[in-house]
Chains A and B, each alone.
Chain A
Amino acid sequence: MAGCTCISPIFYRRNEMLLIEQILNGLLVGSYYTLLALGLSIIFSLGGVVNLAHGAFYACGAYLTVTITAQLGYSAAFLISPIMVGIIGIIIEMLCIRKLYPKDPILTLLFTFGLAMSAEQTFRLLFGASIIPFSIPEFLSGQIHIGDFLYSNYRLAILVVTALAIAGLWLLFNKTAFGLVVRAGVEDAEMVRAMGISVKPILSIVFAIGVGLAAIAGGMSASLMGVQPAMGNDILTAAFVICVLGGLGSFWGVVLAGLIVGVLKGVTAYYFPPAAEGSMYALMVLVLIFRPRGLLGERFARLE
């Protein structure tokens, strides 16, 4: 392979406008990464579960979106599939994960790892190994030109969905009685129980919300990438990196990290494409060296 082909001839005449366009596009892509990682983060911070099956719920959301769209149309699929995945999440939480809370965290890790592999094979059995074609719905296709900048309507829709999800979650956890109990449960579950409030159903609901978010992300990615059994596995690492970068358990940390990763990938792709996918790992290493708890990480009593 001739080395000269890697260094681009137009490398030297790139201007600031292009860089700004890449940064804005990166923020847009970053919002999608945030959506991926947010569910993983709240399940960990509130339930203490490192959910290696997060990608499986993401894939489940994509497959359900494809299946339901064929029957009831895209809008119905967009609403129904996260709810169905949430219900599946509650069932799995109540039947299996709940029993593992008091035990060694390695057990939930192993359980969710096994669940991810079983899910991938199940998708393969039910839907085949082929990539299922799924287009952007008609009403969201097309582009917007703003000056020289180009945006896809669909990605702007993802941005709106992510913003709504972030706002909704923040309100839920900070402005409602439910949120109060959840936050109290994170601080001191025993005290909450002593006050006569059962923590168990709270944890089930948190788990359902987390996997429901994964399903929304999966459903939205169905139009951007191929729907195939291994799709969940492909995004899991990225979601984890963003959680770790932002700081385990930090709500705004995940949002910040998602956006940073989006921008970083865009800018790296602009200057040196071969490093684009690797850039977020390099960033994670740097952040962990200087801030072991992540960008906005909090101190976790039970992890110290």
Chain B
Amino acid sequence: MKKKDTLPQTVNMTRRQMIKMGVGALAAGSLGFPAIISAASDTVRVGHITPRTGFLGTLGDYGFRGVNLAVEELNAAGGILGREVDLFTEDSVGSHMAPTKAQKLVERRKVHFLIGEISSGSAGGVMATANRLKTMYMQSGANSDALRGEKCNPFTFHVEACNTMYTKTIGNWQDRAGNVKGKNFYMLTADYAFGHDLARVSTRFLTEKGGKVMENELIATNTPDYSPYILKIKEAKPDFVYINLAGSDQTTFLKQYKEFGLPFNVSGGVMDTVPFWGAGIDSITGYWQSLWYHKMPTESSLAFAKAFRDKYKFPPDNQAWGDYVAVKIMAAAMNEAKSTDPAKVIPLLESGMEFDILKPRRGHFRKWDHSLLQQMFVVKVKDKDKMEDKWDIFEIVEPTPADNESLEVIQPTVEENACKMA
């Protein structure tokens, strides 16, 4: 922000500077940055932190748009506690930067709560910062079980589903279809916190159900070429290729796997819609697990998808859903608690208060690990000729847990993922 003492300079600026600033302002305007004017003390301030660059940057962009839409809608409806909502955003870059950025949002921007993240490595750092600075954090995109287990803390709540939930959702479905017991799985795993965690819980699940993990290749993020691994898969002849990859790595692998035309089915420990859109309908087949899909036939979900599409000209994905819902949950809790004070809001979030999370069943947080108890979905890749547009790649097969089942069914148990709130 320009302060008063710098004003004379801006008055005397040259034509060139003027043009430069104009172009800059235009660029900022069309990016949809929120107006960040010195925060008045009577606003409720939201700090959004997520990767906007790198291999998770494409997902982060959806989260950024989701949170912007949520704040816009809240303000149009009178804000939180009748106070305007101010949004501050940071690119978390990576796990080396994320904690510092989170600290900046809390100490400099004085945000009332943090939301965001996608990388499990970065989210761990943001969680620790939130705990240290006694600031609430709605973790909306990192999957690693360990964040809900050994790294859990009282200030963090997880809107994103954990690796076990993703694994059990598709695993139970495949198991019932007879695709786990006695089958061989060839794993490709992203070589960082998320991938390691996912390989661990996937291996546990598949082995318990009588499957066999014949190989687990650890692969660096942003790998441009998967052909050496595809040749190894060709020789190993597995029943399933099982991918524990994230972000644009999913896209790259799916495209190149299609290129080599191997006959083995692909499944995986996680599915994000954006990289699957990026891979294109020709490169994907089979059944997958989904946290949320924009054709979810509930009233509030369709309203969100429409509002998002009207604003941005393309539909939201599960990451946009996560960041959007995280803000809406926090707004509902603060309105209910009639306060922004963590001492009042946290007990309410832990009380089992139910939230509309744009799914058939409402969701609530589990008290002992702050995991959002929610439905997930088995989805099937659509026939190409039945697609309505290029984003229409899935049909929803069934929700998991089913309507008559406990929401705990797909959650990790205490034995699987113990959490001691410190």
Q: Which residues on A are within 8 Å of B, measured CB to CB?
A: 1-2, 5-6, 8-10, 18, 21-22, 25-26, 28-29, 32, 121, 124-125, 128-136, 141-143, 150, 152, 154-155, 221, 223-226, 228-230, 234-235, 238, 265-266, 269-270, 273-274, 276-278
Chain A residue with Cβ nearest B228 = A269
**Nearest 5 pairs of A and B residues by beta carbon:** A131-B278, A133-B280, A129-B61, A269-B228, A277-B220
Report the bound CA distance from A1 to B235 in whole Å.
26
- Tell me how far the C-beta of B217 lies from the nearest C-beta in chain A, rounded to whole angstroms: 4
What B residues does A32 contact at CB under 8 A? 225
Partner of A129, one of B58, B203, B222, B251: B58
Contact across chains for A130 and B54 when beta carbons are under 8 A apart? no
Is B264 interfacial (CB-CB < 8 Å)?
no
> Known: A224-B256, A270-B228. Contact between A133 and B279, CB under 8 A?
yes
Report the bound CA distance from A29 to B227 in whole Å.
8
What B residues does A228 contact at CB under 8 A? 57-58, 248, 278
Contact across chains for B275 and A225 when beta carbons are under 8 A apart? no
- Tell me how far the C-beta of B186 lies from the nearest C-beta in chain A, rounded to whole angstroms: 10
Query: Besides A135-B280, A225-B248, A269-B217, 5 other CB < 8 A contacts?
Result: A5-B199, A129-B52, A224-B252, A234-B55, A273-B229
Partner of B278, one of A150, A226, A235, A266: A226
Report the bound CA distance from A55 to B277 in whole Å.
24
- Tell me how far the C-beta of B348 lies from the nearest C-beta in chain A, rounded to whole angstroms: 35
What A residues does B55 contact at CB under 8 A? 230, 234
Is B329 interfacial (CB-CB < 8 Å)?
no
Is B283 interfacial (CB-CB < 8 Å)?
yes
What B residues does A274 contact at CB under 8 A? 191, 218-220
Report the bound CA distance from A32 to B218 in whole Å.
24
Contact across chains for A131 and B248 when beta carbons are under 8 A apart? yes
Report the bound CA distance from A1 to B120 in whole Å.
15
Contact across chains for B225 and A29 when beta carbons are under 8 A apart? yes
Is B19 interfacial (CB-CB < 8 Å)?
no
Segment of B159-167, B174-182, B208-216 in the binding face: B208-216
What A residues does B58 contact at CB under 8 A? 129-131, 226, 228
At the interface, is chain B mostly helix, strand, loop or mixed? helix
Contact across chains for A226 and B228 when beta carbons are under 8 A apart? no
- What are 6 A-B pairs at a CB distance below 8 A? A5-B213, A128-B61, A129-B52, A130-B314, A131-B248, A230-B55
Contact across chains for B224 and A266 when beta carbons are under 8 A apart? no
Q: How many residues of B contact A (CB 8 A)?
A: 57
Contact across chains for A26 and B228 when beta carbons are under 8 A apart? yes
| B 20-59 to A, binary, CB cutoff 8 A, 1 in contact else 0 | 0000000100110000000000000000000011110110
Contact across chains for A238 and B224 when beta carbons are under 8 A apart? yes
B254-275 at interface with A (beta carbon < 8 Å): 255-256, 259-261, 274-275
Report the bound CA distance from A26 to B225 in whole Å.
10
Contact across chains for A132 and B278 when beta carbons are under 8 A apart? yes
| B 212-249 to A, binary, CB cutoff 8 A, 1 in contact else 0 | 01111111101111011101101110000000000010
Chain A residue with Cβ nearest B225 = A29
Contact across chains for B224 and A276 when beta carbons are under 8 A apart? no
Is B390 interfacial (CB-CB < 8 Å)?
yes
Is B310 interfacial (CB-CB < 8 Å)?
no
Contact across chains for B27 and A121 when beta carbons are under 8 A apart? yes
What B residues does A230 contact at CB under 8 A? 53-55, 57
Report the bound CA distance from A103 to B220 in whole Å.
39
Chain B residue with Cβ nearest A140 = B259
What B residues does A21 contact at CB under 8 A? 231
Contact across chains for B314 and A235 when beta carbons are under 8 A apart? no
Partner of B31, one of A125, A136, A229: A125
Chain A residue with Cβ nearest B188 = A273
What A residues does B183 contact at CB under 8 A? none
Is B282 interfacial (CB-CB < 8 Å)?
yes
What B residues does A131 contact at CB under 8 A? 58, 248, 251, 274-275, 277-279
